């Protein structure tokens, strides 16, 4: 399973990439706004840091405007993936961009039917938001299981990005189900390494080494 960082923070991205486990990144208008930077200059810096795909979301609402916005972003780098909302206008955009060989990430997926329609339109990626489903007493990972099964049934090449990851368990469940990608906050990435037995083991080894030195 590939790991993307869900952030537009340059320091988080630099640190994550330095760990050697980051394959890409996802951004959205909310994450961009947190950085208090110019949009295009920030995206260009993100693309310089991240070694793989970087999702950049369109903000227009009509299909024509979204396509023009997407073309502008796609010119920046071959690693740009255009993030498009799952609605009727969005489907038109995905089809058009697919014909232009511009990669897309269909976002705000909350049902398997949405995921199937996005794939039919030519989406490169779909992003089911598991945490937001859990927030309203649903089961986000069940949705991921459904999408995985449907895509496998028909050998659909669209990749599944598990998004809105709230904690390490979501990450592990995504890997067990067979999702292609999990996009996670930097805070979740660091939590994946934490284990009390690891800490205890290191503490014991260091204490024993002090005895050897003496």
Enzyme catalytic residues? 83
In order, the DSSP letters of the chain are -EEEEE---HHHHHHHHHTT---EEE--HHHHHHTTS-HHHHHHHHHHH-SS-EEEE----SHHHHHHHHHHHHTT-TTEEEEEESSHHHHHHHHHHHHTT--EEEEEE-SHHHHHHHHHHT-SEEEEBHHHHHHTT--HHHHHHHHHHHHHHTT--PEEEEBS--SHHHHHHHHHHT-SEEEE-HHHHHHTT--HHHHHHHHHHHHHHHHHH-
């Amino acid at each position: 399973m590939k790991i993307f960082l869900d952030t537009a923070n340059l320091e988080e991205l630099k640190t994550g990439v330095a760990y050697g486990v980051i394959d890409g990144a996802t951004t959205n208008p909310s994450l961009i706004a947190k950085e208090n930077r110019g949009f295009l200059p920030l995206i260009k810096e993100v693309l310089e840091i991240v070694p793989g795909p970087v999702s950049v979301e369109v903000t227009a609402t009509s299909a024509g405007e979204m396509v023009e916005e997407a073309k502008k972003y796609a010119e920046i780098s071959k690693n740009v993936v255009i993030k498009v909302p799952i609605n009727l206008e969005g489907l038109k955009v995905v089809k058009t961009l697919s014909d232009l060989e511009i990669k897309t990430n269909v976002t705000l997926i909350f049902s398997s039917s949405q995921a199937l329609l996005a794939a039919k339109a030519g989406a490169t990626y779909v992003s089911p938001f598991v945490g937001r489903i859990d927030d309203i007493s649903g089961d986000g990972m069940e949705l991921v299981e459904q999408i995985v099964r449907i895509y496998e049934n028909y050998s659909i090449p669209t990749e599944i990005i598990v998004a809105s990851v709230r904690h390490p368990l979501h990450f592990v469940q995504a890997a067990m189900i067979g999702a292609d990608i999990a996009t996670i906050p930097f805070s979740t990435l660091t939590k994946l390494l934490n284990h009390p037995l690891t800490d205890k083991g290191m503490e014991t080894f260091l204490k024993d080494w002090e005895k050897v030195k003496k």
